[in-house]
């Protein structure tokens, strides 16, 4: 779009702008320096904010996990206490089949009594 | 084992410290590199150095807050974008306060699109050529201040700051086609304004 004609005056214009930016007075340069330092201080504060946010998020997650754990513990059915009979069965060396068919053996015993009687 | 872990932690901390230090130095170098041109850009927009300094400070703060953690290669268009946004806000406030004055560039209207009227005379050496540096600088400042904000920003970002069309579009929050249009009009208006100073 730019013609050769344009290029000449644009080059001079940008050179003049460069010079105007270089020739700033000391007071202005001091203000710019303060502005830059204020911005950099802001940047230095950013990681600290990030750390506090992360710490807060971590603490919140920990509290949530503990709350969930407690909730589950309360809801879970408590294991039922073993009955004395159960302990006998478990510790006895008798055949387990005998206990499983106890009703059958009781009925068989009754039949024999009837037959004998 | 504990000593080994302690040493490793110390090494990692040191590396992180160095990394953060390098990042801060890179950020400072970048800001130092753009601050003077940013001030001149703001000064051309406001016509007032104090207000320009305030705007540059706001732009620096906004830039480090929002984009300081971005990759350094992305910083230039993002910094100019923040400054451009501040300049737009400033202009909006001025309009609201009624301190906005009608400028020659605004009053030209359709004439700025007249290609024949805008075409440069090839026999002429071009605007600024016959002016000494001091006069040329004053004439250029006046011509730039006379441009509408978007045209001036397109000229300064694209031709002075040297951003490419895409980066200029990012900085100005507009399409690449709009950048080209603003720049073309800026060149036409600047040439015409500078020729009046011969």
Percent of chain B with pLDDT over 90: 62
Percent of chain B with pLDDT over 70: 73
Confidence check: pLDDT of A61 > 90: no
Which of B128, B116, B185 lies closest to B151 in space, CA to CA? B185
Arithmetic mean of pLDDT, A75-86: 62
Contacts of A41 in chain B (CB under 8 A): none
CB contact set of A36 (below 8 Å; sequence gap of 6+): B28, B31, B32, B35, B60
Arithmetic mean of pLDDT, B10-39: 78
Arithmetic mean of pLDDT, B7-19: 49
Number of CB atoms found within 10 A of residue B45's CB? 26
How far away is chain A from the Cα of B17, in angstroms, using its nearest Cα?
A: 12
Give the pLDDT score at B99. Answer: 57
How far away is chain A from the Cα of B37, in angstroms, using its nearest Cα?
A: 6
Contacts of B24 in chain A (CB under 8 A): 40, 43-44
Arithmetic mean of pLDDT, A6-16: 91
Give the pLDDT score at B1. Answer: 46
Integer Cα distance of B152 and B160 in angstroms: 11
Local structure of residue A93 (DSSP, 8 states): -
Contacts of A13 in chain B (CB under 8 A): 128, 140, 159-160, 190
Q: Number of C-alpha atoms within 13 angstroms, CB side, residue B10? A: 6
Q: Which residues of B touch A (CB under 8 A)?
A: 20, 24, 27-28, 31-32, 35-37, 39-40, 49, 53, 56-57, 60-61, 63-65, 68-69, 120, 122, 124-129, 133, 136-137, 140-141, 156, 159-160, 180, 183-184, 187, 190-191, 194
B147 burial level (CB within 10 Å; 0-12, 13-18, 19+): buried
Give the pLDDT score at B155. Answer: 97
Q: Taking a C-beta distance cutoff of 8 angstroms, is the pair A32, B56 a contact?
A: yes
Q: Taking a C-beta distance cutoff of 8 angstroms, is the pair A42, B65 a contact?
A: yes
Q: Taking a C-beta distance cutoff of 8 angstroms, is the pair B157, B171 a contact?
A: yes
- Dihedral angle over CA of B130, B134, B136, B138, nearest 10: -150
CB contact under 8 A, A8 and B191: no
Confidence check: pLDDT of B7 > 60: no
Residues listed for chain B: 198
Query: What is the CA B143 to chain-centroid distance, rounded?
Result: 16
Local structure of residue B73 (DSSP, 8 states): G
Confidence check: pLDDT of B166 > 80: yes
Q: Taking a C-beta distance cutoff of 8 angstroms, is the pair B139, B197 a contact?
A: yes
CB contact set of B137 (below 8 Å; sequence gap of 6+): A16, A19, A20
B87 burial level (CB within 10 Å; 0-12, 13-18, 19+): buried
Which of B110, B118, B176 lies closest to A3 in space, CA to CA? B118
pLDDT, tens digit (0-9, with 9 covering 90-100), for B121-157: 555 556 666 666 778 899 999 999 999 999 999 999 9
Residue B97 — pLDDT band, cuts 50, 70, 90? Answer: confident
Give the pLDDT score at B95. Answer: 85
How far away is chain A from the Cα of B90, in angstroms, using its nearest Cα?
A: 18
Better-scored residue on pLDDT, A37 or A81: A37
Q: Taking a C-beta distance cutoff of 8 angstroms, is the pair B43, B49 a contact?
A: yes
Least confident of A3-12, A22-31, B186-195: A3-12
Integer Cα distance of B160 and B171 in angstroms: 14
Give the pLDDT score at B11. Answer: 42
Arithmetic mean of pLDDT, B16-36: 85
Residue B13 — pLDDT band, cuts 50, 70, 90? Answer: very low
Nearest to A35 among B60, B69, B122 (CB): B60
Contacts of A17 in chain B (CB under 8 A): 37, 40, 140, 156, 160
Arithmetic mean of pLDDT, B160-180: 96
Confidence check: pLDDT of B18 > 70: no
CB contact set of B198 (below 8 Å; sequence gap of 6+): B127, B130, B131
Better-scored residue on pLDDT, A1 or A109: A109
Share of chain B residues as helix, strand and coil, in percent rounded to the nearest 5: 80, 0, 20
Q: Model pTM?
A: 0.65
Confidence check: pLDDT of B3 > 60: no
The ipTM (two decimal places) reads 0.76
B151 burial level (CB within 10 Å; 0-12, 13-18, 19+): buried
CB contact under 8 A, B160 and A43: no
Better-scored residue on pLDDT, B128 or B65: B65
Share of chain A residues as helix, strand and coil, in percent rounded to the nearest 5: 85, 0, 15
Contacts of A9 in chain B (CB under 8 A): 126-129, 191, 194
């Amino acid at each position: 779009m730019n013609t050769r004609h344009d290029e000449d005056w644009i080059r001079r214009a940008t050179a003049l702008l460069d010079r105007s930016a270089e020739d700033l007075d000391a007071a202005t340069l001091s203000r710019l320096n303060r502005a830059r330092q204020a911005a950099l201080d802001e940047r230095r504060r950013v990681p600290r904010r990030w750390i506090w946010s992360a710490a807060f998020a971590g603490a919140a997650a920990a509290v949530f996990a503990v709350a969930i754990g407690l909730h589950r513990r309360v809801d879970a059915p408590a294991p039922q206490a073993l009955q004395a009979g159960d302990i006998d069965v478990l510790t006895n060396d008798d055949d387990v089949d005998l206990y499983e068919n106890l009703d059958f053996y009781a009925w068989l015993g009754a039949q024999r009594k009837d037959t004998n009687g | 084992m504990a000593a080994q872990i302690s040493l490793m932690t110390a090494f990692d901390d040191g590396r992180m410290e160095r990394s953060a230090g390098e990042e801060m130095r890179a950020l400072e170098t970048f800001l130092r590199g753009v601050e003077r041109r940013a001030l001149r850009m703001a000064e051309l927009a406001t016509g007032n150095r104090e207000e320009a300094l305030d705007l540059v400070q706001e732009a620096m703060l906004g830039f480090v807050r929002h984009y300081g953690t971005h990759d350094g290669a992305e910083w230039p268009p993002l910094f100019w974008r923040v400054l451009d946004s501040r300049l737009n806000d400033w202009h909006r406030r001025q309009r609201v306060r009624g301190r906005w004055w009608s400028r020659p560039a605004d009053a030209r209207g359709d004439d700025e699109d007249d290609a024949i009227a805008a075409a440069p005379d090839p026999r002429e050496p071009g605007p600024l050529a016959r002016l000494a540096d001091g006069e040329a600088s004053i004439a250029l400042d006046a011509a730039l201040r006379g441009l509408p904000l978007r045209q001036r920003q397109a000229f300064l970002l694209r031709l002075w700051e040297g951003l490419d069309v895409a980066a200029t579009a990012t900085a100005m929050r507009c399409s690449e086609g709009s950048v080209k249009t603003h720049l073309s009009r800026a060149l036409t208006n600047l040439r015409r304004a500078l020729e009046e100073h011969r």
